[in-house]
């Protein structure tokens, strides 16, 4: 079990590092890839008109958030329990899929 946790942690670190090393639109315009959540949210609102679109709990210490705009830009970031958010990915052409019949009913 510990081996799987370590592998997952290593994979997350590698993914985060590779995404930070290759920034996209929102991330490249920020001087830092991590900041206080309110700073990140305000930046996305002011510069891209992005709003919270999806959220998921990663574990007891972090949640994943997706912000997207009607123009199609989107940003995915993780926020920890201390309120620090780190941008992982961003892009364009976001499209919200309709819910499947019977799912979430």
Q: Residue 36: which domain range?
A: 2-91
- Residue 32 φ/ψ, nearest 5 degrees: -120, 155
- pLDDT tens digits for range 44-86: 999 999 999 999 999 999 999 999 999 999 999 999 999 999 9
User: H-type helices in the chain, by residue range?
Assistant: 2-21, 25-29, 37-48
In a domain, 96, yes or no: no
In a domain, 24, yes or no: yes
Tell the burial category of 85 from Cβ atoms under 10 Å away from its Cβ (0-12, 13-18, 19+).
Answer: buried
- pLDDT at residue 34 in the model: 94
- pLDDT at residue 3 in the model: 52
pTM: 0.65
Q: Quickly tell me which residue has 């899929």 as its tokens.
A: 97
C-alpha angle 52-63-54 in degrees, rounded to nearest 5: 30
In a domain, 78, yes or no: yes
- pLDDT at residue 21 in the model: 46
In this predicted model, which residue has the larger pLDDT, 50 or 32?
50
In this predicted model, which residue has the larger pLDDT, 32 or 21?
32
Q: What one-character DSSP code corresponds to residue 83?
A: S
Q: What one-character DSSP code corresponds to residue 101?
A: T
């Amino acid at each position: 079990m510990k081996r799987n946790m370590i592998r997952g942690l290593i994979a997350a670190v590698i993914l985060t590092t590779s995404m930070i090393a290759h920034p996209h639109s929102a991330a490249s315009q920020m001087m830092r890839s991590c900041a206080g959540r309110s700073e990140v949210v305000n930046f996305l609102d002011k510069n891209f008109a992005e709003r919270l679109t999806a959220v998921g709990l990663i574990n007891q210490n972090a949640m994943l958030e997706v912000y997207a705009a009607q123009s199609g830009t989107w940003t995915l970031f993780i926020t920890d329990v201390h309120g620090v958010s780190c941008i992982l990915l961003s892009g364009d052409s976001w499209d919200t899929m309709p819910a499947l019949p019977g799912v979430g009913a």
